[in-house]
Structure 1
Amino acid sequence: MPNLKAQRKQPTIPLERDGAAPHIDHKAVGGHLRQARKSRELTLMQLSERSGIAVSTISKAERGDIALTYDKFAALAHALGVDFDTIFGRTPSRSSGPFEPTLTRSGKQLIYDTPNYEYGMIANDLVGKRMVPMRAHIRARALNDFPDYIRHSGEEFVFLLQGKLELHFESGSVFKLEQGDSLYFDSAQGHVYISTGATEAEVLVCCVDTDDHRPPQSL
């Protein structure tokens, strides 16, 4: 998960030739995940037991056959004692002082695709950051689009940029957001985002892990 120190570093994934936003390669992510697991001498079963993620899911993710949702990334990162940067193939480094401002141009966010969400990773070239900011499109249209509610440690803020959005919580609470509305909540509460307008909802999301759950700096 995000570390307290941050260091600016050039992205390791090049822009697509047409100038569009680059997409994260699921197979490359899977390779980094497998490398992190093996470097800790963990079997798939052991990592499954530590993270609560099914062996089959971890195996498919390591092969690049599936995209992981944020909650599964968080669970695996916690279990491995690494942050997202390591799984994305970037090596966090300690900063001796304040880091430089990081600009992300509109439409140039690094894209990570999943069936229900398209995550646009903001400030992707800043490794080890405390926050995980994203500009995302919500593809899900119904609660049954999800096999389960999403849960991960920390706190979460969402601001609706465009469209209409519902946030459903496992407690039964439902929050309906119109453009310009926002919601701040405990990410450990099971939750899902659902688009309810004519087009996919576009949101600004920021996740912050809690100090109690944040793993140590990567080796």
Structure 2
Amino acid sequence: MDHNVTIGAKVKAFRTAKKYTLKQLSEESGLSIGFLSQLERGLSSIAIDSLAKLATILGVSLSSFFDSSADQEKSPVSRSFAMHCSQINPQIVQYLVNGNAQGFACLPRIFHLMPSATTSSENQLEMNQHDGEEFIYVLEGILTVYLDGSEYCLNPGDSIQIHSQTPHDWVNNTNRVVKILTVHTPNPFVHGNEVVF
């Protein structure tokens, strides 16, 4: 099953049910009209954080974008081959670690950060601020974390835990793939959370 097609079709269905134009959804979400159009046609994937924002705007739960048949298997074990993968941009790929993400208060994910074409600096980054907390653990490579005006280099086995309201971002400034495990709370999959990332 192509998750992009399924999610895109549901975004379009929820948008039209709410009588929103692509322009209105673009203005409220901060996502471009072109991107939203491609998303609805199944030509683009979307980060969970951005999908959570669309869910809030459209007045639906985040889990409503995903096939409910996946919940028929109630095993607490999440298999590596079954992880849902999506490409956030050309340099970041995310994997949902937990197959029952909406059943828990925190959201674990694995990110693969491709080598940077150019060296980034904090001034070039879009620093993130949102509700909650997050934990980052480096599995492979060297991760650069920008946090409230400071820069930290994390090696494999290093971790950092932050309050998400503090301006932050992380990048791969090396020429090798960086793999990290992150855990965010609150979980945007949990019904009723109006989380804006």
For normalisation by structure 1, the TM-score amounts to 0.68
**What residue identity is the alignment partner of 2:87?**
D
Q: 1:178 aligns with which of 135, 138, 155?
A: 155
- Kept in 2, the 8 Å contact 1:51–1:75? The answer is yes
Q: How far is 1:84 from its partner? A: 2.9
Q: 1:159 aligns with which of 104, 129, 137?
A: 137
C-alpha deviations, 1:181-214, integer Å up to 9, x for none? 1112233445433224553111111122289x81
**What residue identity is the alignment partner of 1:116?**
Q
Q: Which residue of 1 aligns with 2:35?
A: 57
Give structure 2 stretches of 5+ with no counterpart. none
**Are the structure 2 counterparts of residues 116 and 192 from structure 1 closer, same or farther at C-alpha, using a change threshold of 3 Å?**
farther
2:139 partner SS: strand
For normalisation by structure 2, the TM-score amounts to 0.74
Give structure 1 stretches of 5+ with no counterpart. 1-12, 14-23, 94-99
**What residue identity is the alignment partner of 1:124?**
G
Question: Across the two proteins, how many residue pairs are aligned to each other?
Answer: 184
Q: Which residue of 2 aligns with 1:10?
A: none
> Take 1:132 and 1:101, find their aligned partners in 2: how far apart are those partners?
18
- The range that moved more, 28-37 or 46-55, is 46-55
Q: Which residue of 2 aligns with 1:209?
A: 186
- Kept in 2, the 8 Å contact 1:92–1:127? The answer is no
Equivalence map 1:92-171=2 (5 Å): 102-114=76-88, 115-141=90-116, 142-143=119-120, 148-169=126-147, 171=148
- Kept in 1, the 8 Å contact 2:47–2:87? The answer is no
Identity of aligned residues (%): 24
Which one has the bigger helix percentage?
A: 2
Coordinate RMSD, CA, aligned: 3.2
**What residue identity is the alignment partner of 1:186?**
H
2:5 aligned with 1:27, yes or no? yes
